[in-house]
Amino acid sequence: MHIDDLRALAPLWLSKTEEVRQDKSHWSTNITGDIYGMGWISEMYGYSFGAAEVGLRHKINDDIMIYPGYTPRIGTEPLILHYGLPFKVGNWSFSKLEHHEDGIVYDCNRLFPPPPFPREVEVMESDPNVKRALYLSIECIHTLNEGLLLHHTSVGCPKPQWSKYLSFLKSKRFSELTKPKYWNSLKVENKLTVQHVALSKSRHPKIHTLFSTECSSYFDWQTVGLMHSFRISGQPGNITRLLSCTDEDLKNYKGRDLAPTHYVPSMNRHPLTGDWYKLLI
């Protein structure tokens, strides 16, 4: 998003989110169609309503993102795996909410349970597109585990014992499975889209990726996975974590070195939403 668009959107994004949170009569899943009964994803509605009112125009296509477990549309290659929902491959499954208090980042050589190997996935499904969905699912967890493995090595953990899974993570087959996906700019430009802001004259406009976390083990293992994925993706520009914690939590926090970090220690509880939010100065 261009910074000028963000400046215009930010106030309405917040106010529209507050409106959705306050409108409890529309939280019911049989009205919105959401799988969550409470206003947990109100900021997503707030974004849509705020962007519409400001007049932002979006390029929409199927190459941007997919949830692991979803079947991609034929001919698309998703760039981002958003593991926000539980997903499964055969008898194996993963849900990040089951790892809410998981200190896996700080337990030497412990990884998430490995999914089926590619040769097992190959015989699970005959439909090539559904099979591709299964491969995307295992790619997600493989990338998280590879990031954890490299992190444990970097902090001085002893060399892990050999296993078939660790051998796979260092194999040519794994490299082929997780190789970076690149944006098909020609495909995008051929679609009927409306450009809201002028593109930079340079091939890669100045981009700085920001992500926000708190002082908890739940965010720490996701930070390790994101940082590893960012490094191997070829994404231009830098990345910075906005770390938001109470002063007391920050004193005991062990994950300061997980990412380039901007500390945002001032935390307040929103009177309407009940969320902790940051004071950016």
Q: What is the pLDDT of residue 183?
A: 66
Higher pLDDT, 5 or 21: 5
Question: Each residue of 148-199: pLDDT tens digit?
Answer: 999 999 999 999 999 999 999 999 999 888 887 776 655 544 444 334 443 4
pLDDT higher than threshold 80 for residue 271: no
Give 103's pLDDT tier (boundaries 50, 70, 90). Answer: very high
pLDDT at 233: 87
Query: Would you list the DSSP string of the chain?
Result: --HHHHHHHHHHHHHHHHHHHH-GGG-SHHHH--S-SSSTTHHHHHHHHHHHHHT------TTSEE-TTSPPPTT---SEE---S-EEETTEEE-GGGGTT--GGGSTT--PPP---HHHHHTT-SSHHHHHHHHHHHHHHHHHHHHHHHHHHHTTPPPPPP-HHHHHHTSHHHHHHTPPP---HHHHHTS-----SPPPSSSS---EEEEEEESSHHHHHHHHHHHHHHHHHT--SEEEEEEE--HHHHHT---TTSS-EEEE--EEE-TTT--EEE---
Of 127 and 264, which is predicted with more confidence?
127
**Predicted local confidence at residue 185, as pLDDT:** 55
Q: Which tens digits make up the pLDDT trace of 21-35?
A: 888 777 665 565 666
Residue 118 vs residue 246, higher pLDDT: 118
Specify which of 62-66, 81-85, 262-266 reaches the highest per-range mean pLDDT.
81-85
Rg (CA), the chain: 21
For residue 236, the model assigns a pLDDT of 84
Q: Hey, what are 42's tokens?
A: 């109100």
What share of the chain has pLDDT > 70, as a percent? 80
* Amino acid, res. 200: S
Summarised one tens digit per residue, pLDDT across range 128-151 is 999 999 999 999 999 999 999 999
C-alpha triplet 85, 263, 83: angle, nearest 5°: 10
Burial of 181 from C-beta contacts in 10 A (0-12 / 13-18 / 19+): middle
Does 3 have pLDDT greater than 90?
no
- pLDDT of 229 reads 94
Q: Which residues pair with 269 in a beta bridge?
A: 276
Residue 18 clears pLDDT 60, i.e. is over it: yes
Flag whether pLDDT at 116 surpasses 50.
Answer: yes
pLDDT at 36: 63
Say what the pLDDT of residue 266 is: 58
pLDDT at 197: 43
Q: Where are the domains of the chain?
A: 1-56, 65-177, 200-281
Calculate mean pLDDT across residues 3-7.
91
